[in-house]
């Protein structure tokens, strides 16, 4: 299994997951040109992807969807609520609606050699999900962003991962003192908003395992967070938490808003 981030943040999200046989994109919130350029860095092209997994309908996750559907006729997997919201919004333009395939939260399905499990998450969208992807190697990876909170169900679903891209959206103090209006701050802090650095570290403390080879911190806010602070806060939560690990036991990096990350092979 392999994965890398092409972009991760409020300006656009696009993650590649696959193996030596099949690849999928998780979201395409950047332009088709940027997607292709990111894939090219690891000798892939957009037609090499067997489909696109959409987490939810917000524009930073679907901005390039219409272009990729029209240009490459890629199949798109999303929940019924997400598909309906995308089509009603209309921002992706005219597309072949037969390319959409309805999936259901917490029901696994197959794309070639890849097993895909959508996991219901809490966010202010129609029917959002994160994704766990595995193959016959026994390894599995997760992409989980845009969640305001987590519960025991999410923790249970994220057990046994070899790699994960997990949201660490904001520093709580920076958000409180920052320029956002009150209502936006309230939305971000809510159970249907975004995961703070502290909560991200606490969730990691519950899903880390001896086989976890890499952690990406993703979807960092440009206004209310920055990489070193996210790494420090998340690391402190892991090290001080009620778990057998220290942050230094794991390779933890930040997925950039604008640059392609290192590729992780597990």
> Which of 133, 164, 187 is where one domain is finished?
133
Domain-embedded: residue 67:
yes
> Which of 133, 155, 187 is where one domain is finished?
133
> If pLDDT is split at 50, 70 and 90, which confidence band does 24 have?
very high
Same domain, 115 and 158: no
Same domain, 183 and 119: no
Query: Tens digits of per-residue pLDDT, 73-116?
Result: 999 999 999 999 999 999 999 999 999 999 999 999 999 999 99
Strand runs (DSSP E) across 59-162, as ranges?
Answer: 76-79, 100-103, 109-111, 114-120, 129-134, 140-144
Query: Tens digits of per-residue pLDDT, 29-60?
Result: 999 999 999 999 999 999 999 999 999 999 99
CB 265 within 8 A of CB 4: no
Strands 214-218 and 109-111: unpaired
> If pLDDT is split at 50, 70 and 90, which confidence band does 118 have?
very high
Domain-embedded: residue 139:
no
Q: Average pLDDT of 66-77? A: 98
What pLDDT score was predicted for residue 189?
97
Domain-embedded: residue 180:
yes
Domain-embedded: residue 31:
yes
Query: Tens digits of per-residue pLDDT, 208-246?
Result: 999 999 999 999 999 999 999 999 999 999 999 999 999
Domain-embedded: residue 138:
no
CB 108 within 8 A of CB 85: no
What pLDDT score was predicted for residue 188?
97
Query: Tens digits of per-residue pLDDT, 146-193?
Result: 999 999 999 999 999 999 999 999 999 999 999 999 999 999 999 999
Same domain, 200 and 84: no
Same domain, 4 and 129: yes
Same domain, 220 and 191: yes
Same domain, 125 and 151: no
CATH code for the domain of 56: 3.60.15.10
Same domain, 204 and 242: yes
Domain-embedded: residue 198:
yes
Same domain, 191 and 120: no
Same domain, 242 and 166: yes
The dihedral region occupied by 160, where left means phi > 0, alpha psi between -120 and 50, and beta the remainder, is left
pTM assigned to the model: 0.97
The residue segments making up the domain with residue 234 are: 147-256
Domains identified in the chain, total number:
2
Domain-embedded: residue 104:
yes
Domain-embedded: residue 141:
no
What pLDDT score was predicted for residue 122?
96
Same domain, 155 and 53: no
Same domain, 93 and 4: yes
Q: Average pLDDT of 203-209? A: 98
Same domain, 14 and 124: yes
Give the helix ranges, DSSP H, for the chain. Answer: 32-40, 59-62, 65-72, 80-89, 152-157, 172-177, 182-189, 197-207, 227-240
> Which of 133, 164, 190 is where one domain is finished?
133
């Amino acid at each position: 299994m392999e994965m890398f981030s092409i972009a991760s943040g409020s300006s656009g999200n696009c993650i590649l997951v696959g193996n030596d046989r099949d690849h999928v994109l998780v979201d395409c919130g950047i332009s088709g040109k940027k997607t292709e350029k990111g894939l090219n860095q690891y000798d892939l092209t957009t037609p090499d992807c067997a489909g696109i997994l959409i987490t939810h309908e917000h524009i930073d996750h679907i901005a390039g969807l219409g272009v990729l559907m029209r240009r490459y006729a890629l199949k798109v997997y999303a929940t019924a609520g997400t598909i309906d919201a995308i089509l009603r919004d209309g921002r992706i333009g005219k597309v072949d609606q037969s390319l959409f395939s309805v999936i259901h939260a917490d029901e696994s399905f197959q794309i070639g050699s890849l097993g895909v499990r959508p996991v219901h998450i809490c966010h202010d969208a129609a029917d959002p999900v994160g994704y766990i992807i595995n193959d016959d190697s026994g390894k599995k990876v997760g992409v989980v962003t845009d969640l305001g909170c987590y519960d025991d169900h999410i923790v249970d679903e994220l057990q046994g991962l070899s790699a994960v891209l997990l949201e660490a959206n904001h520093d709580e103090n920076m958000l409180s003192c920052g320029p956002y209006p009150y209502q936006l701050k309230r939305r971000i802090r809510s159970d249907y908003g975004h995961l703070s650095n502290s909560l991200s570290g606490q969730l990691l403390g519950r899903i880390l395992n001896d086989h976890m080879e890499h952690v990406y911190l993703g979807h960092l806010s440009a206004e209310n967070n920055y990489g070193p602070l996210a790494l420090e806060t998340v690391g402190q939560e892991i090290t001080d938490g009620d778990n057998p690990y220290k942050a230094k036991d794991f390779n933890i990096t930040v997925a950039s808003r604008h640059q392609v990350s290192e590729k992780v092979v597990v």
